Structure 1
Amino acid sequence: MPRNKRRIELVTEDERQFSKRARNHVSSRRIARDNSAFTQRRCVQLFREYTVPTEPDTLGPEGMEKFCADIGVEPENVVMLVLAWKMNARQMGFFTLNEWLRGFVDLQCDTIPKIQAKLDYLKSLLNDYNTFKSIYRYAYDFARDKEQRSMDIETAKAMLKLLLGKHWSLFSQFNSFLESSKYKVINKDQWCNIFEFSRTIVNDLSNYDVDGAWPVMLDEFVEWLTSERQAQPYRS
């Protein structure tokens, strides 16, 4: 993946199979316990296993794929977003040495087994409302093209699916709305309000205030969904 490519990519079938085998390999055995004391030196050495001599302080897309395979997690798994948030990583697909140390010093991880042992903990952070909200907000600046102020719609849909797809009952309808809408980008105010909408507005839209301070995008979504339901009254 070239450095200037920000958009979330669909992995090939071969890559999926490779990642699946890696996960099966991890799950088929008990993760080795590593009770050795954390050292920053060993943490740096681990980082260097995924970088190239020409850019020793930057872990790029190829190194990221190898790292994900080693820990048994697909690159598009939400746990990788949580890990990036822990590091406060700036750019999707890349970790700098400083970001790596920020995250793994906090997690006290300097070996692959130690990182594997923290995966469930990282996933559990999504269960806390305030932490999830922080990760959701972080995802906007993390995933958008840094040369643009807004996030392109394809990246936005992919990130919304990753974060809200399993937890928002109206996600599939909202995704369909975006696909049929005029919107080509999503700005940060819209992004943040989508989260608030997903957490506060019930499925039948009965608590939606038409005079509220929602962005026009969400007013349009409510109008679109209401029209869809009237046209197909038996559709949930």
Structure 2
Amino acid sequence: MPPRRRRRSPDPDRNIDELEDLRAKKAAAWPKKEQMNDDIVETFGKKRCIAWFQEYSGVDDDLISPEGMEKFCEDIGVEPENIVMLVLAWKLAAKSMGFFTMQEWLKGMTELQCDTTSKLRKKLDFIRSYLNDPVCFKSIYRYAYDFAKDKDQRSMDIETAKAMLSLLLGKHWPLHSLFHQFLEQSKYKVINKDQWCNILEFSRTIHTDLSNYDEDGAWPVMLDEFVEWLKEQNTFRS
């Protein structure tokens, strides 16, 4: 049998050096606590989210009213008329303008993983980014109709419709200002949902010079009249 090799006695200095190297590698791979975002470290808390809701609703109420909504907007640094509030309401699936229920709040804020004002403020750009997605924008646009109209009415009154169209299409549809003028002088007092949805499709598909507009198309009468009005204004010639 070969002679047994004598075990080397452990080198305490070498072991300490290896341990220090290992600790240094772990520290480099994991961000320091003071460098980490508090919102990443702190997970979403339902109780904290409810307490946040109650800052605007009151402890014994499960509804944020317009007064509470005004304070909420002030705290997150957004005007109530800002389109991001419409997108937030869409995200919460809120049923009525100017109101958030506890159930709507918890559903939406859980999805957004926001349970404090600071977290929501940091998410505003993300919330606004939904407007850049054509599918999401269409959903938000359609949602806005039922959200903004009076709940006891089947159609949206024309003043509300003009305001919402300005908010949603004013910056993106070149013919919006002309359409607004058309509504101002028209006989229309309300807009129904079919008209509302077709306005978006018209704005997306019809060229600004109306070159692809089909007089025999299935557009609502309102939009046919808009085209005729444009021609009468000599804005476009047949």
User: Does 2:121 align with 1:96?
Assistant: no
After superposition, the Cα gap between the structure-2 partners of 1:65 and 1:198, relative to the gap in structure 1 and judged at 3 Å, is: same
Indicate the structure whose relative CO is greater, using CA pairs within 8 Å and at least 6 residues apart. 1
Question: What is the identity, as a one-letter code, of the residue corresponding to 1:46?
Answer: W
TM-score where L is the length of structure 2: 0.82
Aligned to 2:202: 197
Contact 1:33 1:114 in 2 (8 A): no
TM-score where L is the length of structure 1: 0.82
- Distance in 1 between the 2:166 and 2:212 partners? 24
Root-mean-square deviation (Å): 1.4
Q: Secondary structure at the match of 2:57?
A: coil
**Residue correspondences, number:** 200
Structure 1 runs (4+) deviating above 4 angstroms are none
User: Does 2:221 align with 1:216?
Assistant: yes
Aligned to 2:129: 124
User: Does 2:64 align with 1:43?
Assistant: no
**Aligned-residue offset at 1:170:** 0.1
Aligned to 1:167: 172
Contact 1:87 1:99 in 2 (8 A): yes
Which residues of structure 2 form unaligned runs of 5+? 1-36
- Distance in 2 between the 1:185 and 1:176 partners? 15
**Aligned-residue offset at 1:121:** 0.4
Bigger radius of gyration: 2
80, 89, 93: which one aligns with 1:84: 89
Question: What is the identity, as a one-letter code, of the residue corresponding to 2:213?
Answer: Y
Question: What is the identity, as a one-letter code, of the residue corresponding to 1:61?
Answer: P
After superposition, the Cα gap between the structure-2 partners of 1:53 and 1:179, relative to the gap in structure 1 and judged at 3 Å, is: same
Q: Secondary structure at the match of 1:229?
A: coil
Q: Secondary structure at the match of 1:136?
A: helix
